[in-house]
A and B are shown apart, each in its own frame.
Chain A
Amino acid sequence: MLSISRAQLILGMAAFLSALAVLPPSSQNTAGRQASTPLPDSQPSAAGVVAQANKPPEFFVAIDPSHGGDDRGAMLPGRVQEKDLTLSFARELRRQLAERGIQARLLRETDVNLTLERRAEEANAAHAGIYLVLHAGGPGEGTRIYSAAIPAQASPGRPQSFLPWDSAQSIALARSRVLARAVSERMHKDGLAVSLLTASLRPLNNVVMPALAIEWAPGRQERKGQEISKAFARLSADIASAIADLHDAAGGHL
């Protein structure tokens, strides 16, 4: 279980470099990975590097539309595939976050294969402020918000050492649960059916920032294109508002 995989090494290296505060966040992306933050055109000066290192990473939400490519996910009524729904949901959520002044990046923009390990690597290396993985499927109706089913670290903080890949989320679990409650309360006020649960899910267990899995189970009236879009708009508005409120309350950081 505790064997060190490539991803563990990458995560550990990223944490180590962050602790040393030598490199700017953007250059901590491992080679070969698609950099989420574009690198500057010219080489910065030594003073610039230090200044950038001291500057906190830009806050953004990493939205992960689950499944994609060969992995279709669950099959919903009307032969709708989960991978397509999650992508629509993610795009709407990004739009709603942008309306509230919060940046968001999707881990996949199209119908492509993306391993669970790669998704966690992307979110960790890009230093996302929040990670949200979106799912859609039954049984039942309504929205279920999951935080990781692992023990929370006793004194959560910035990672200073190597973390076990399988339970990396433990460092941010307390903040994840605060976020879960905030989103749930917002949906509840909006009259939506919502439940707070825990689950052992990848890549939720492997990311080091506040992270949630949000699963939408369509009701009987939400099985056609227009109704699905309306449901996503309402859910996304609630999620985005909850995040914007928490972000403002925390002075720009969670």
Chain B
Amino acid sequence: MIPRHFQITLALLLLAILIAGMYLVRLKHGEEAKNSQNPYVAAVAPPVSGQQEHIRILVAYDDDLALRWREIQVQLPTESQPRAREILRVLLSQYLQEPSPHPLGKGSDIKEVYLLGDGTAVVDTTPQFANKHPSGIIPEELTLTSLAETLTANVSGISRVKFLVDGKERETLAGHADLMSFYQINEVHELAREFE
């Protein structure tokens, strides 16, 4: 026979565990809700140092399958490669906000932009950028065209753009748009005109 005082202690302990568990679940849900309201903050965070600049970004809109230029004021680093990266992150931040004109997967980001001396820009993206990208010719084409056009509109001397995913070549973005080839800027202008 278990003594009465021991039974009461055990019941109280179980109750405390239950309350703590419920509190933890609530905390978790609260944190998730906060994250979903503000899914991506890294891309919109301004750099510590830099100058205020007026840039043009070409934003994709899925509702009417269009690309439209927008002017935006942002603080950018002065060095060319970090500056190019921040410009593309400003564009991605448009796609990662809620509601989004052209939703991309959480965690989509630009890891690095390399500006080579021969007019080549190499844009290295995070794995989530490709792995969580909506599959389809138009969504993929809109993303790549808007990135390439935004880059060349704000960084001079670029004649072609190559996209990498996590530092590696990939056949397609999400099953459709070619990522093996270089995007020649003249051809990208033509593509953009189809949607403007």
Interface residues, chain A, CB within 8 Å of chain B? 1, 66-67, 71, 73-75, 82, 116, 135, 137-140, 144, 146, 149-151, 166-167, 197-202, 205, 213, 215
Contact = CB atoms under 8 A, between A and B. Distances in A.
17 contacts: A1-B181, A66-B175, A74-B175, A75-B135, A116-B172, A135-B137, A139-B65, A139-B138, A146-B137, A149-B190, A166-B181, A197-B194, A200-B178, A200-B187, A202-B178, A213-B137, A215-B137
Contacts of A205: 178, 181
Interface of B: 62-63, 65, 134-139, 141, 144, 171-172, 175-178, 180-183, 187, 190-191, 194
Contacts of A135: 136-137, 176
Contacts of A201: 137, 176-178
Contacts of B171: 116, 202
Contacts of A67: 175
B138 A200 contact: no
Given A139-B62, A139-B65, A149-B187, A199 B135 contact: no
Contacts of A137: 135-137
Contacts of B135: 73-75, 82, 137
B60 to A, nearest CB: 11
A202 B190 contact: no
A254 B135 CA distance: 32
A202 B172 contact: yes
Given A139-B139, A149-B187, A149-B191, A73 B175 contact: yes
A199 B182 contact: no
A67 B175 CA distance: 8
A73 B191 CA distance: 23
A140 B183 contact: no
Nearest to B186: A151
B107 to A, nearest CB: 20
B122 to A, nearest CB: 12
Contact of A200 (B63, B134, B175, B177): B177
B136 A74 contact: yes
Contacts of A140: 65, 138
A202 B171 CA distance: 8
Given A135-B136, A139-B63, A205-B178, 19 more contacts: A1-B182, A135-B137, A135-B176, A139-B136, A140-B65, A140-B138, A149-B187, A149-B190, A166-B181, A167-B181, A198-B191, A198-B194, A200-B141, A200-B183, A201-B137, A201-B176, A201-B178, A205-B181, A213-B137
Given A1-B182, A202-B180, A150 B187 contact: yes
A63 B138 CA distance: 21
Nearest to A137: B136
B175 A199 contact: no
Nearest to A164: B181
A253 to B, nearest CB: 29
A199 B195 CA distance: 12
A116 B63 CA distance: 30
Contacts of A74: 134-136, 175
A247 B85 CA distance: 50
A66 B65 CA distance: 22
Contacts of A167: 181
Nearest to A136: B136
Nearest to B182: A1
A201 B172 CA distance: 8
A142 to B, nearest CB: 10
B87 to A, nearest CB: 22
Contacts of B65: 139-140
Nearest to B141: A199
Contacts of A66: 175
Nearest to B120: A1
